[in-house]
Amino acid sequence: MFHKRIRIKDLLQSDNVNYQATVMGWVRTFRNNQFIALNDGSTNNNLQIVIALGSLDEQTLKRITTGACIKASGEIIPSLGKGQKIELNAINVEILGDSDAEKFPLQPKKHSLEFLREIAHLRFRTNTFGAVFRIRHSLAFAIHEFFNKKGFIYLHTPIITASDAEGAGEMFKVTTLPLDGTAPRNDDGSINFKEDFFGRSTNLTVSGQLEGELAAMAFSDIYTFGPTFRAENSNTTRHLAEFWMIEPEMAFYDLEDNMNLAEEFIKYIIRYAMDNNKEDLDFLTQRLEEEEKQKPQNERSEMSLLQKLEFVVNNDFEKITYTDAIEILKESSHNKKKKFQYIIDKWGIDLQSEHERYLVEKHFKKPVILTNYPKEIKAFYMRQNDDGKTVAAMDILAPGIGEIVGGSQREERLDKLTQRMEEMHIPTEELDWYLDTRRFGACPHAGFGLGFERIVQFVTGMGNIRDVIPFPRYPKSASF
């Protein structure tokens, strides 16, 4: 049977020796015509395969090259060499897939992340990306486990929608109309979307929140976990045009409940990765330490990756209001010495990532939950506070990243909500279905969105968001 193989992770975890095993995987290196380092992706560790001298013909030996896929059978024995407890004494090696060593782009040496991004279809086969994507998997699993344990319903919200959930207008259009100028027109010259596939103008979703709110008004607690799309022209290390978001929405929650859930949630999934991805986190911690050595002393981080994660799961997040944050920033020597690109001079301005990072990394030195932002810089659905100026919003800021969560208590009062929508020029007719939740059995409720790639970045310590999603989409790039 072809499938009778043992995963390398299972082999290496066991102390058993002197039994027959078959392994399959990809050759990382082949030394002295005798030692193969084989990896099958179940772990970062390779299995050493020793080929008994004279047991393979010349032709087969030549085909064991870096990148080739092989099947090897033999006896598991205690290793004589250093660096591994066991090895496979191979009596049979079969080449499943050849790899031309001259042309295979991944040589057994260190490659830059930029280079690997250009060959994203092959980068899974490196130690760094092996570790990153195993951790990404674990975090995704932990997210479902966390909400399932709490009795939340996993809701699939649509990817194609006609609404703009954030009211920010940064959407990708979805249409089957021809782009060659022959699309049907209205009398005023505009495109007639009534003739389009859905009979109206549609786009890719920027958030599943609005649909999530509808379901929370029936199931009490729901969460979404799906792809979201933003056509913002942001070429940064923290923005993607296609990213995954987790959006829980809870009936009978106020802002305080919302913040507490978000904090518990983040700690839970980080802890899960620490418990289940120890080897990979050790590897990434070391990797980061090497990288840090290239930096000047004063730019190196005080904590290693693992210490940072340990610290985050064991300490309370700092909760402060936007108003207090502005005071801290305004009074900071950084601001006074004009070290910010955007000087903080008045209440009401939106915080830039340099300000968020100052609060988290320099001032509090821990994750910060900022609350009660000015209503002018936040979305229409956030609950208006009694002061008439602020809304019950909360953003969670993480060291090294900045914003990882955005959320709020929602405006459940129909009159206040429609009034705000009108002020912000959000068409109430198009969102009539959304307003129905406020007409029929409205209740206080709240929710938030966690950017999945941002938390993967935080846990893996990867500096660029393009390196924590298999095939990143960003301005001018949609390869693979």
- The Cα-based distances of 133 to 140, 424, 459 in angstroms read 10, 41, 11
Are the CB atoms for 129 and 453 separated by under 8 Å? no
With respect to ligand 4AD, which residue has the nearer C-beta, 68 or 214?
Answer: 214
Does residue 454 belong to the site contacting ligand 4AD (CB under 6 A)?
Answer: yes
| Nearest distance in Å: CB 229, ligand 4AD | 9
340: Cβ–Cβ under 8 A, 6 or more apart, which residues? 329, 334, 352, 354, 355, 358
Residue 40 site contact among Mg ion, ligand 4AD, none (CB < 5 to 8 Å, cut-off depends on kind)? none
**Under rule CB under 6 A, which residues in 393-422 are in contact with ligand 4AD?**
403-408
181: Cβ–Cβ under 8 A, 6 or more apart, which residues? none
Does residue 453 belong to the site contacting ligand 4AD (CB under 6 A)?
Answer: yes
Name residue, tokens 């970062």: 44
Does residue 263 belong to the site contacting ligand 4AD (CB under 6 A)?
Answer: no
Q: Which of 447, 458, 461, 467 binds ligand 4AD (CB under 6 A)?
A: 447
Percentages helix, strand, coil for the chain (3-state, rounded to 5) are: 35, 25, 40
Neighbours of 200 (CB within 10 A): 10
Are the CB atoms for 382 and 413 separated by under 8 Å? no
Does residue 245 belong to the site contacting ligand 4AD (CB under 6 A)?
Answer: yes
Q: Which of 448, 457, 458, 472 binds ligand 4AD (CB under 6 A)?
A: 448
Q: Which of 40, 196, 211, 247 binds ligand 4AD (CB under 6 A)?
A: 247
- The Cα-based distances of 337 to 120, 192, 298, 350, 379 in angstroms read 42, 55, 19, 20, 33
With respect to Mg ion, which residue has the nearer C-beta, 226 or 407?
Answer: 407
E strands, 366-463, are: 368-371, 393-398, 402-409, 445-451
Residue 399 site contact among Mg ion, ligand 4AD, none (CB < 5 to 8 Å, cut-off depends on kind)? none
Does residue 265 belong to the site contacting ligand 4AD (CB under 6 A)?
Answer: no
| Nearest distance in Å: CB 231, ligand 4AD | 10
Query: What mask of x and - would describe binding to ligand 4AD in positions 201 to 240, judged by CB under 6 A?
Result: ------x-x--------------------x--------xx
Task: Report the DSSP beta bridge partners of residue 447.
Answer: 249, 408
**Under rule CB under 6 A, which residues in 168-207 are in contact with ligand 4AD?**
207
Residue 361 site contact among Mg ion, ligand 4AD, none (CB < 5 to 8 Å, cut-off depends on kind)? none
The contact set with ligand 4AD (CB under 6 A) reads 165-166, 207, 209, 230, 239-240, 243, 245, 247, 403-408, 447-449, 451, 453-454
